[in-house]
């Protein structure tokens, strides 16, 4: 659109007419996307401000073009700050929310509906619209450079054609408030400088972001298994805000530290960078890429803006310790040296569908469990029922205040997903139940934990039956075995009970330890649905792995049972020795690769129609279970003398229970055998949106690390004939006899 103003339409700021020998200048421009198309920006209202601070208003034509003629000499300043006036609910909620309402513009909404030319989000090297500039100027710009408030918008991405911002120095200073000629609409400089008598083609970077794809369904899926393992690991990193001070005295904050939760959600993913590092010791040759989905920027997992001018009630430095900034809103850090410190960290973020909470496990290598000798303490009314480990409960109470403060600001019906590893998993369990029971609210949390110890007693577990909890345990991880089901560990170590050592160590189980008496209170118990990673080395040396719920203590508590055997009793304060198997407890070296392997196995089953547990794997494990059951029955038969049986009844009862559990385990394995993956079992709720999968899975598979064949991930090939397979598995023995199966050699 062309605008020509007469002399009387161009008064100075104090109302007088100024003579100017050079007023017949003109400037034209076009907004285009990365494909050279200007239609996404057609009809946008814009303003141009010339050197004399005269404001010219117009509307972009059907090609996204605008023009101003007869403006004062010198450069002009282009602005597109028209507020969004549409009726789309997600934008309305962001604009109208009580805290940190976002100044969303029409330009932002248009840019969110454009797409990247390069799927990676890298800027284009050329644009078809460059030819339209002829002898003019081509710039790559971003929305935040054209609007008044940009703290909620992504950091600037690298580009090849930078605007000439130094031109802004040619503009005269703006009048201060209260002086003659002051205009509120010209209270500060912002916008893009354009040279007069030139045509400008402005490529607007799409406002797209990446977010880890998550399923909000309560049903277990391999996607959440892998994605939330990464998020649980990310909780070990700092928030990474710069400046790192309280209060923040600057006008803006950045998140340069990698890896950090602030950098993930406040910088990299906001710019559509595919970030892969979740731990400081993770090497470039060991990347873990989440399955990302490309979404409009306003649907990303958010880090709130920091702008003391726009949000003085929250961000003003004069608030001192009460000042809010992204670090205080999104990151909980109670690791100081004060006596009341719980040594706990957590981060929280959200979008319109999900609120994600990740709780850190113990960071110190020597302190694998926080205050493992703590007594059980009663759970307060409103938090749950029964008793909880005092150290875990104290930490959960501290995180609860942080989480509920956040929810009071941003909860609008989203699915709350909580995750944590080790100690963080125990805290996450207690926290999720606290949120589920919060008076006056109807939260329905979904919980995924990794290698979590027992956090509370059987009464709590029964009372928390309505909480959906998927509990992941690595084979030979000792931490989930403690506190022991009968441990109130302020008490002294007590009798060793009955130990059964298995011949040939089937499944790598060298001992079943029974007969630990519960001396006070209800027994510690695990909550949730178990998902147990069990690797195996087949007869040809090939590695394999299944994810299941064995249900028997001889498998689940192998590492702990062996340690108890060595110590001839229960561990005392800080005397627990997990060094034999602690590598199975780590995330980067244990739970993440196992979760990745399960996802790949499920993808393979989905794509090829193969079973999740092959006949070869089923026969191998099933025969080992038969051998274990036979040996336990033999131990029970040999305990014949009546005096011995009366004296050791407490020990023999769990032995018989274990025999029954082994039978249940075999039934579960048989049910799992032959099962094939479905889209929902692999990707959860994303199965209802096949367009998301077809668009975003290729991005993940483009990284060679995600498609490389690995023995743990791929189903083992079958042998030629079933009888040959069975013969190889049993090494010539008759079915039902013991099968040597040494997992201790697995590394």
Tokens 């790949």 belong to residue: 600
Under DSSP, the state recorded for 191 is S
Model pLDDT for residues 714-741, shown as the tens digit of each residue? 888 775 444 443 343 334 434 334 333 3
Task: Please state the rounded mean pLDDT for residues 313-341.
Answer: 89
Model pLDDT for residues 34-78, shown as the tens digit of each residue? 999 999 999 999 999 988 888 999 999 999 999 999 998 888 999
Tell me: pLDDT of 3 over 50: no
Tokens 């014949």 belong to residue: 640
Better pLDDT: 555 or 302: 302
Strands (E), 251-322: 292-296
Give residue 579's pLDDT.
52
Model pLDDT for residues 132-151, shown as the tens digit of each residue? 766 679 999 999 999 999 99
Tell me: pLDDT of 593 over 70: yes
Task: Please state the rounded mean pLDDT for residues 682-696.
Answer: 88
- Computed over every residue of the chain, the mean pLDDT equals 82
Better pLDDT: 576 or 334: 334
Among 319-328, 384-393, 474-483, 646-655, the minimum mean pLDDT is found in 646-655
User: Which of 107, 111, 24, 38 lies closest to 72 in space, CA to CA?
Assistant: 24
Tell me: pLDDT of 29 over 60: yes
Tell me: pLDDT of 509 over 50: no
Give the pTM.
Answer: 0.86
**What residue segments make up the domains of the chain, in order of their start?**
2-206
Among 162-176, 400-414, 505-519, 527-541, the minimum mean pLDDT is found in 505-519
Give residue 164's pLDDT.
85
Tell me: pLDDT of 10 over 50: no
Tell me: pLDDT of 575 over 50: no
Instruction: Decide if 474 contacts 584 (C-beta within 8 A).
Output: yes
Q: How far apart are CA 28 and CA 24, in angstroms?
A: 14
Q: What are phi and psi of 43, to 5 degrees?
A: 85, 0
Under DSSP, the state recorded for 294 is E
Most confident of 106-115, 183-192, 606-615: 106-115
Q: How far apart are CA 250 and CA 262, in angstroms?
A: 17
Q: pLDDT category, 644, cuts 50, 70, 90?
A: low
Q: pLDDT category, 337, cuts 50, 70, 90?
A: low
User: Which of 315, 297, 94, 75 lies closest to 191 in space, CA to CA?
Assistant: 75
Give residue 512's pLDDT.
52
Give residue 741's pLDDT.
35
Q: How far apart are CA 682 and CA 697, in angstroms?
A: 12
């Amino acid at each position: 659109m062309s605008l020509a103003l007469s002399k009387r339409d161009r008064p100075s700021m104090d109302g007088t007419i100024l003579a100017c020998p050079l007023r017949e200048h003109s400037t034209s421009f076009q907004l285009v996307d990365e494909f050279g198309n200007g239609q996404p920006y057609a009809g946008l209202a814009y303003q141009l401000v010339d050197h004399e601070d005269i404001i010219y208003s117009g509307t972009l034509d059907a090609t996204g073009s605008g023009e101003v003629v007869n403006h004062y000499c010198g450069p002009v300043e282009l602005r597109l700050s028209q507020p969004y006036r549409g009726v789309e609910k997600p934008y309305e909620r962001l604009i109208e929310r009580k805290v940190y309402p976002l100044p969303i513009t029409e330009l932002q909404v248009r840019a969110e509906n454009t797409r990247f030319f390069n799927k990676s989000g890298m800027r284009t090297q050329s644009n078809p619209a460059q030819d339209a500039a002829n002898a003019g100027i081509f710039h790559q710009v971003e929305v935040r450079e054209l609007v008044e408030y940009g703290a909620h918008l992504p950091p600037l991405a690298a580009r090849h054609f930078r605007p000439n911002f130094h031109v802004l120095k040619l503009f005269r200073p703006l009048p201060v408030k209260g002086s003659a000629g002051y205009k509120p609409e010209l209270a500060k400089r912002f916008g893009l400088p354009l040279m007069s008598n030139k045509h400008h083609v402005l490529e607007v970077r799409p406002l797209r972001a990446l977010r880890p794809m998550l399923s909000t369904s309560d049903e277990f899926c391999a996607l959440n298994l892998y994605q939330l393992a990464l998020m649980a690991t990310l909780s070990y990193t700092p928030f990474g805000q710069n400046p790192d001070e309280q209060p923040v005295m600057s006008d803006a904050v950045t998140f340069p530290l990698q890896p950090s939760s602030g950098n993930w959600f406040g910088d990299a993913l906001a710019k559509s960078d595919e970030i892969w590092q979740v731990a400081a010791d993770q090497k470039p040759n060991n990347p873990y890429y989440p399955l990302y989905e490309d979404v409009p920027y306003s649907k990303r997992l958010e880090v709130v803006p920091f702008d003391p001018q726009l949000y003085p009630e929250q961000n003003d430095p004069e608030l001192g310790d009460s000042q809010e900034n992204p670090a205080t809103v999104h990151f909980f850090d109670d690791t100081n040296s004060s006596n009341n410190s719980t040594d706990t960290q957590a981060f929280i973020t959200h979008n319109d569908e999900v609120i994600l909470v990740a709780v850190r496990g113990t960071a110190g290598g020597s302190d694998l469990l926080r205050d493992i000798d703590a007594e059980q303490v009663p759970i307060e009314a409103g938090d749950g029922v029964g008793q909880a480990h005092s150290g875990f409960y104290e930490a959960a109470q501290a995180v609860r205040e942080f989480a509920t403060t956040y929810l009071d600001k941003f909860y609008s019906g989203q699915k709350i997903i909580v995750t944590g590893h080790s100690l963080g998993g125990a805290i996450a369990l207690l926290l999720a139940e606290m949120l589920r029971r919060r008076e006056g609210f109807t939260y329905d949390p979904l919980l995924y934990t990794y290698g979590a110890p027992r956090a509370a007693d059987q009464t709590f577990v029964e009372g928390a039956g309505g909480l959906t909890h998927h509990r992941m345990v690595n084979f030979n991880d000792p931490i989930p075995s403690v506190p022991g089901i009968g441990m109130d560990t302020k008490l002294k170590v007590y009798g060793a009970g009955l130990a059964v050592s298995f011949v040939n160590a089937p499944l790598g189980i060298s001992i079943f330890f029974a007969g630990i008496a519960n001396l006070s209170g209800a027994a510690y118990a695990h909550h949730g649905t178990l998902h147990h990673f069990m690797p195996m080395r087949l007869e040809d040396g090939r590695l394999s792995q299944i994810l299941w719920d064995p249900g028997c203590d001889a498998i689940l508590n192998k590492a702990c049972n062996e340690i108890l055997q060595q110590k001839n009793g229960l561990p005392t304060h800080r005397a627990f020795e997990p060094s034999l198997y602690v590598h199975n407890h780590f995330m980067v070296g244990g739970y993440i690769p196992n979760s990745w392997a399960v996802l790949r196995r499920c993808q393979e089953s989905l794509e090829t129609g193969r079973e999740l547990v092959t006949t070869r794997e089923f026969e191998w494990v099933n025969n080992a279970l038969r051998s274990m059951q036979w040996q336990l029955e033999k131990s029970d038969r040999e305990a014949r003398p009546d005096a011995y049986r009366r004296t050791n009844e407490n020990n023999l009862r769990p032995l018989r229970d274990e025999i029954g559990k082994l039978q249940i385990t075999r039934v579960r394995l048989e049910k799992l055998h032959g099962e094939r993956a479905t889209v929902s079992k692999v990707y959860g709720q994303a199965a209802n949106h096949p367009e998301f999968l077809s668009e975003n899975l290729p991005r993940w598979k483009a990284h060679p690390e995600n498609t490389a064949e690995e023995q743990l991930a791929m189903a083992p090939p079958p042998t030629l004939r079933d009888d040959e397979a069975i013969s190889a598995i049993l090494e010539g023995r008759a079915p039902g006899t013991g099968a040597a199966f040494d997992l201790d050699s697995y590394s």
